[in-house]
Amino acid sequence: MGLRSHEQLVVCVGVMFLLTVCITAFFFLPSGGADLYFREENSVHVRDVLIREEIRRKEQDELRRKAEEANPIPIPKPEIGASDDAEGRRIFVKQMIKFAWDGYRKYAWGENELRPNSRSGHSSSIFGYGKTGATIIDAIDTLYLVGLKEEYKEARDWIADFDFKTSAKGDLSVFETNIRFTGGLLSAFALTGDKMFLKKAEDVATILLPAFETPSGIPNSLIDAQTGRSKTYSWASGKAILSEYGSIQLEFDYLSNLTGNPVFAQKADKIRDVLTAMEKPEGLYPIYITMDNPPRWGQHLFSMGAMADSWYEYLLKQWIATGKKDDRTKREYEEAIFAMEKRMLFKSEQSNLWYFAKMNGNRMEHSFEHLACFSGGMVVLHAMNEKNKTISDHYMTLGKEIGHTCHESYARSTTGIGPESFQFTSSVEAKTERRQDSYYILRPEVVETWFYLWRATKDEKYRQWAWDHVQNLEEYCKGTAGYSGIRNVYESSPEQDDVQQSFLFAELFKYLYLIFSEDNILPLDQWVFNTEAHPFRIRH
């Protein structure tokens, strides 16, 4: 069918118009919250975020290209004096921290995160859309700890001038704001004694308080810092999430203890009381809970990984943080882990690798997430604090086995770095055949578990595994001005995702630095780490 030229013109204009509408729509669609963290449950939303980020990145790349043509920037290379002993390795990690920090400072100062290759700012929906310096607040305790004094001072001065209330825009994740911002500031106070940090921590937590004004006291997931309006995620059908409402207590309790203002501890205690009163199916805690009073469990979905993980971690650590006097917390932790071992712990057929499966009703999904690898460190920390030798030995064994399984997920990939999630089937063990699970975003949980195992056993292999990871980070994750995630750990030249996550500083760098340090740097009988690896002092 032939079209005459003026008809072609009309069609052409029509197509252009539709395209413009589509592109504009992507920019103005509401974001609705949540990070890549909620991969499966939230795929539509994630795709939406990814598309918008893709467009933004293309624009930034274009701007950068133009700037570079005008004024090329030399690629800095840190000096590397890698020696084989722990001290040399510790210094090497410190140099990595400096390199990553310098890139952030130069190209993204005050932004939430850095795009190390585009050399520009980055943010994700968990931070809303304000410029809230997440990297500065997440990194400051690490800068202090490793002795980057000038960098620490500059970060401290930025925080002293920073007002979270006026800077935060849009919907913030209550959970992420608590563990990164409140946690980071509390930790900076605990390490330095500088009261300014405590005041800022209280400011941030105060902004979160309206999210707890719900019928049962279970907090909403998102809060608008300006209006105080809070809500659940649109994709969670009006329910709250275990790992989120269950990972408030360490920060809020510590904050109340340090400030003498009881309101924070009361909010955290209320959540615990609500959960204690609920019937647990076979002793297990489902991921979703309704916002009614009293609340009801949602779908019977159970996991040691995303959306559940730090609930278990905080039960154990709350018991430790309060000087092991809180028997209820200890009992609830033990009962929860015991129930999970009974129903969800498996050993793979070919290589005898131990892992926690996921459970939906009675249906098992034999996959284990990078996030769930934290559980090795958790049970080792329990073992180190447990008087009963039978129980202690049992959890030491479990911790070693999980540390080993997670190492296998690293060792069985092309880059030596483990994927986001891996499966156990008749054809693969500790690997993934799913393209969408093959990425690595600088997550710390595997090194975290090796860190606890190193402290508990002094077996050199844990230091060696950590050092292997350092070298793989250098080879695959190092970008022009910082470190980046990679899109596929099974490729020999993986594409980088161009995001330097704030938790790289708070968690991965800190655990790497500590594993090559003496035990008297943050001894585990005096310090407890929040789920973002911010250390708090144990109250004996």
- Do β-strands 354-356 and 301-302 pair in parallel, antiparallel, or remain unpaired? unpaired
Among the listed residues 15, 18, 73, 391, the single contact to ligand NAG using CB under 6 A: 391
Q: Which stretch binds ligand NAG (CB under 6 A): 341-349, 360-368, 385-393, 518-526?
A: 385-393
3-class state of residue 486 by DSSP: strand
Q: Which parts of 162-245 fold into alpha helices (H)?
A: 164-167, 174-176, 183-192, 195-208, 242-245
- Do β-strands 363-365 and 429-431 pair in parallel, antiparallel, or remain unpaired? unpaired
DSSP assignment of 374-428 equals HHHHHHHHHHHH---HHHHHHHHHHHHHHHHHHHHHHHTSSSS---SEEEE-SS-
Among the listed residues 2, 74, 81, 260, the single contact to ligand NAG using CB under 6 A: 260
- Contact call for residues 161 and 233 (beta carbons, < 8 A): no
Query: What value, to the nearest 5°, has the Cα angle with vertex 500 and ends 497 and 505?
Result: 150
Decide if 420 is catalytic.
yes
**Cα distance between residue 336 and residue 290, in whole Å:** 20
**CB of 337: closest distance to ligand NAG in angstroms?**
13
Among the listed residues 71, 388, 427, 492, the single contact to ligand NAG using CB under 6 A: 388
Does 392 contact ligand NAG by CB under 6 A?
Answer: no
Active-site entry in 171, 176, 251, 369: 176
Query: Tokens representing 463?
Result: 């230091």
3-class state of residue 223 by DSSP: strand
- Residue (74 or 260) nearer to ligand NAG, CB: 260
Decide if 309 is catalytic.
yes
> Annotation-wise, does 276 bind a ligand?
no
Q: How many CB atoms lie within 10 A of CB 166?
A: 10
99 phi and psi angles, rounded to 5 deg: -60, -45
- Residue (328 or 539) nearer to ligand NAG, CB: 539
- Residue (264 or 410) nearer to ligand NAG, CB: 264
Is residue 223 packed enough to be buried (19+ CB in 10 Å), middle (13-18) or exposed (0-12)?
buried
Decide if 176 is catalytic.
yes
**CB of 538: closest distance to ligand NAG in angstroms?**
9
Among the listed residues 5, 390, 427, 520, the single contact to ligand NAG using CB under 6 A: 390
Does 362 contact ligand NAG by CB under 6 A?
Answer: no
**CB of 253: closest distance to ligand NAG in angstroms?**
9
- Contact call for residues 330 and 257 (beta carbons, < 8 A): no
- Residue (69 or 327) nearer to ligand NAG, CB: 327
Q: Which stretch binds ligand NAG (CB under 6 A): 207-215, 303-311, 340-348, 387-395?
A: 387-395
Does 257 contact ligand NAG by CB under 6 A?
Answer: yes
**CB of 262: closest distance to ligand NAG in angstroms?**
8
- Residue (103 or 399) nearer to ligand NAG, CB: 399
Q: Which stretch binds ligand NAG (CB under 6 A): 213-221, 239-247, 383-391, 476-484?
A: 383-391
Does 327 contact ligand NAG by CB under 6 A?
Answer: no
Q: Which of residues 160-189 bind ligand NAG (CB under 6 A)?
A: none
Query: Tokens representing 64?
Result: 């950068």
What is the length of the chain?
540
Q: Which helix (H) or strand (E) holds 339?
A: helix 327-344
- Residue (434 or 539) nearer to ligand NAG, CB: 539
Which sequence positions are flagged as catalytic?
A: 176, 309, 420, 445
Residue ranges of the annotated binding site for Ca(2+) are 531
Per CB under 6 A, residues contacting ligand NAG are: 257, 260, 388, 390-391, 539
